[in-house]
Amino acid sequence: MTLKTIGIVGAGQMGAGIAQVAACSGFSVVLCDLDQAAIDRGLSSIGNSLRRLVEKNKLTSEEAEDVVSRITTGTGINRMGQCDIVIEAASENEAVKKQIFQSLDRQCSPETILATNTSSISVTRLAAETSRPDRVIGMHFMNPVPVMALVEVIRAMQTSDTVFDSVTALAEAFGKVPVDVTDAPGFVANRILLPMINEAVFCLHEGLASAEEIDTVMKLGMSHPMGPLALADLIGLDTCLSIMNVLYDGFKDPKYRPCVLLQQKVDAGYLGRKSGRGFHSYTNQTNSLSILTGRNHPFQRCSF
């Protein structure tokens, strides 16, 4: 199946990043969110990212304008009917995602593939909300999307091989490296990454070292490009907490219990970069892309 028009639900840091990569790869994109303010923030982050690529001579101004012209927007999901595939990138909340999948199922042609960028939630359960479970799949991009090479392509129990092959080919057309992963809480990436971040939060909570020192240990000791607490701030502490809860509930294993400090940060509204404060403070907000590219990140190559 040839996929030409890509719908994206959610214009936050991931949805905007996916929109940019899809448009840079020549696809038509329809980007939607709950309201115009969220769409404007998404478009502004795409604009800033493209400007930096032009400054680095990775893109001409004309190419950047073409990329922007391939992205159309709308509030609500009523414009998703025209898309060959819709990638859901809304907040990491199962009830929200189930409602979106039910609406997309009603709105879209029976042929449309419905993908989710969820970090951890069961793709099998989201597929079961639709009348086309064989056409539902996980497409888990990494943050920041224009920089990171990996896409976990997650088969729900119901996903057909044809849909899996189409989505794998789409990830490759986006210049990414797809990895075939079976549906389970947290998949592979976050099954490994989030317990490490959660353990770093425990180290902070127990007073073993400061946030800066914990991040320094992992950067200088393990050659991680970012410390785990700075990475948690980049991901969003609300998203980190949701993923830990999915692991905890999914495996019923106390080793996945979220640290109380992570819960308290979220309760206080300290969500990381997106709120200006998490484990670190961000008085002068810098876009996540510039942070990683400015630090010689191993995946800083851009394929466009």
| Ramachandran bin of 91, using left for φ above 0, alpha for ψ from -120 to 50, beta for the remaining angles | beta
Query: Would you count residue 122 as binding ligand NAD (CB under 6 A)?
Result: no
Catalytic (active site) residue 140: yes
- Report the residue from 45, 118, 130, 166 that binds ligand NAD according to the rule CB under 6 A: 118
Considering only 236, 258, 262, 265, the residue that binds ligand NAD (CB under 6 A) is 236
CA 251 to chain centre: 23
**Smallest distance from ligand NAD to CB 57, Å:** 28
Q: Which pair of structure tokens corresponds to residue 31?
A: 């980007």
Residue 272: DSSP 8-state? B
What is the footprint of ligand NAD within residues 76-95 (CB under 6 A)? 89-92
Helix (H, G, I), strand (E, B) or coil at 242: helix
Q: Check residue 163 for interaction with ligand NAD (CB under 6 A).
A: no
CA distance 51 to 167: 29
Q: Give dist(CA 140, CA 138) in Å, integer.
A: 6
Number of Cβ atoms within 10 Å of the Cβ of 222? 10
Is 152 a residue of the active site?
A: yes
By the rule CB under 6 A, 96 interacts with ligand NAD: yes
* β strands within the chain, DSSP E: 5-9, 28-33, 71-75, 85-88, 113-116, 136-141, 150-155, 177-182
**236 phi/psi in degrees, rounded to 5:** 110, 125
Contact code string over 27-66 relative to ligand NAD, x by CB under 6 A: ------xx---x----------------------------
Residue 244 contacts ligand NAD per CB under 6 A:
no
Mark whether 62 is an active-site residue: no
Is 186 a binding residue for ligand NAD by CB under 6 A? The answer is: no
DSSP state of 77: S
Among the listed ranges 43-51, 137-145, 178-186, 259-267, the one in contact with ligand NAD (CB under 6 A) is: 137-145
Of residues 122, 143, 190, 288, which has the active-site annotation? 190
Tell me the C-alpha distance between 91 and 239, whole Å. Answer: 8
Residues near ligand NAD (CB under 6 A): 9-15, 33-34, 38, 89-92, 96, 100, 117-119, 140-141, 143, 235-236, 239, 274
List active site positions.
119, 140, 152, 190
